[in-house]
Amino acid sequence: MLHPERPSTDQTAGFRHGPDYTLEAGLAEKGYQLIAGADEAGRGPLAGPVVAAAVVLNPDDIPSGLNDSKKLTAKRREELFDEIAVASRAVCWHAANHATIDRINIRQASLRAMAMALGGLQTGCDHALIDGRDVPPGLSVPALAVIKGDGRSLSIAAASIVAKVMRDRMMLRADIKFPAFGFAGHKGYGSARHLAAIREQGPCPLHRHSFSPMKDA
């Protein structure tokens, strides 16, 4: 791997209709061969883990239709998840559970999960593109933080899909274990049904006690 450089942030506003491979191609021209995109899902929910993923796409076999996971249907995310798993050079995901979130806060838990996902890539990587404003500390490779990166970089978009699908699957399992909270529907976000269930049942073991309304109680 190359020696790490100072982390930087891409402040350029993107006016695309969707993500493309421009950032990756620019890095490839500089000699980087294994470029990973990293993103997370689940910063906002009141329960469950935050899940991060890292993906090294194969530039010769990029699945069609990659986009910010929030702009895709659940069915389309599942389809693309399978295509990403087959076509990519490497895929890795990591979850930071509710207890970790409560202990170190959601921002730090998200960054740690992204660092773990990047570190777990089978091929490794020699440069990372990170969704958002922050680069996880301690990376062994240079990295660029890309604001709204899941709508700008195909690699980050792929990571956003993997992270979202994995987290949704976890919350579907949580719904089986704690059916009173309706996790299958809202995936832990603060919907009216979810908030009503917390008031009626009290929090379950998957709730984040550093988040309101648990924190307020």
Q: Tell me the domain boundaries of the chain.
A: 8-170
Q: Tell me, what's the pLDDT at 202?
A: 96
Q: Tell me, what's the pLDDT at 16?
A: 55
- Residue 209's pLDDT band (cuts 50, 70, 90): very high
**Fold (topology level) of 8-170:** Nucleotidyltransferase; domain 5 (3.30.420)
pLDDT exceeds cutoff 80 at 127:
yes
State pLDDT tens for residues 53-108: 999 999 999 999 999 999 999 999 999 999 999 999 999 999 999 999 999 999 99
State pLDDT tens for residues 179-205: 999 999 999 999 999 999 999 999 999
Mean pLDDT of 172-182: 98
Q: Tell me, what's the pLDDT at 55?
A: 98
CA-CA distance, 55 to 83, in Å (whole number)?
12
Token pair 């404003």 is found at 133
Mean pLDDT of 25-46: 98
Mean pLDDT of 121-148: 97
pLDDT exceeds cutoff 90 at 9:
no
pLDDT exceeds cutoff 60 at 5:
no
pLDDT exceeds cutoff 80 at 12:
no
- Residue 17's pLDDT band (cuts 50, 70, 90): confident
Mean pLDDT of 125-139: 97
12 versus 82: the higher-pLDDT residue is: 82
